[in-house]
Structure formats: C-alpha cells, structure tokens
Structure 1
Amino acid sequence: MIDRNTSDHQIFEFDLTEHETRRRTEVLAALGDTWDPVAVLEAETEANRLLYSGLDAEQQATYEMLVAAGVLPASGRE
C-alpha cells in the first residue's frame, strides 16, 4: 500500500532540447548539401499546376468546389 501523504515522490525532468537539436542536425545531414527547399517548393507548385490543368467543365466545377471548401489550395491559375 502506498501512503499518499508522504513526500516519497521525486520530480523527474527530461530536457529534450539536446535531443531535438541532434535530430534536426541528422535530418539536415540526410538531406545533403544539394537539397534546395525553394526548388522543391517550385517543383511541387508546378506539379500541382499541371495536375489541375486541362480539366473538362465537370472536373473544373469539382475542383472549384473543393477549393471553396478548403479541401484543396487554390492554384492561382485562374
């Protein structure tokens, strides 16, 4: 039986700052020196533009409905 009226409990603290710094360093090392986040974002934007280009009227209406509902981001191609 545990007597809850005693101060036998210890405070345990664990600082994750060092772990998080090491984790981020490892992620960046794994990405390598050639990783270009701006180029990646531009390529993703272009891929989305191509994906939603050339839609027929029904597909365009569905796309616009999904954008209006916030399901898809607006592509800025209108």
Structure 2
Amino acid sequence: MIDRTSSDHHIFAFDLTEHETRRRTEVLAALGDAWNPLEVMEGEAAAERLLYSGLDAEQQATYDMLVAEGVLPASGQA
C-alpha cells in the first residue's frame, strides 16, 4: 500500500510556456524574412494538382475511391 502522506512523494509541475515561446521564436528566425506561408501553401496545392494529373482510367478510379472513402481530400480541399 502506498502512503500518500509520506515525505517520499513529491509533486512536480512544469510550465513549458516559456520553452514553447522560445521554440516558436527560433523556428520563425530559422525560416527567415523571405518565408511566405501563402506562397508555400500555393506551391503545395500546385504540387498536389500535378501529382494527380494525367491519371489513366484505373488510376483515376482508385483516386476517386480513395476520395470517396475519405482517405484523400477531394481535389482543391487539401
């Protein structure tokens, strides 16, 4: 049986807010001033369109099935 009133037990609390703030600051600093999140998202959308373009009939059927099952987002929803 564990005696919770024993002095052998210590409760620790960690506030990671300062650490998380510093981590986010360092990430943004590493990305630099030229980083443009909108441009990145547009590039990813263009890459996805290219990835799923030019599919043959069987590939298109597989893609449509995966979209219908919710495995892949519908075109334009990524």
TM over 0.5: yes
Question: 1:75 matched to which residue of 2?
Answer: 75
What TM-score comes out, normalization by structure 2 length? Answer: 0.84
In the alignment of these two chains, the number of paired residues is 74
* Residues 5, 63 of structure 1: alpha-carbon distance in 2 compared, 3 angstrom cutoff: closer
What TM-score comes out, normalization by structure 1 length? Answer: 0.84
Distance in 1 (CA, whole Å) between partners of 2:74 and 2:28 is 30
Calculate the aligned-residue CA RMSD, in Å: 1.5
Deviation of 1:5 after TM superposition, in Å, equals 5.4
Q: Calculate percent identity across the aligned residue pairs.
A: 77
Distance in 2 (CA, whole Å) between partners of 1:23 and 1:63 is 38
Runs of 4+ in 1 over 2 A off after TM superposition: none
Question: 2:3 matched to which residue of 1?
Answer: 4
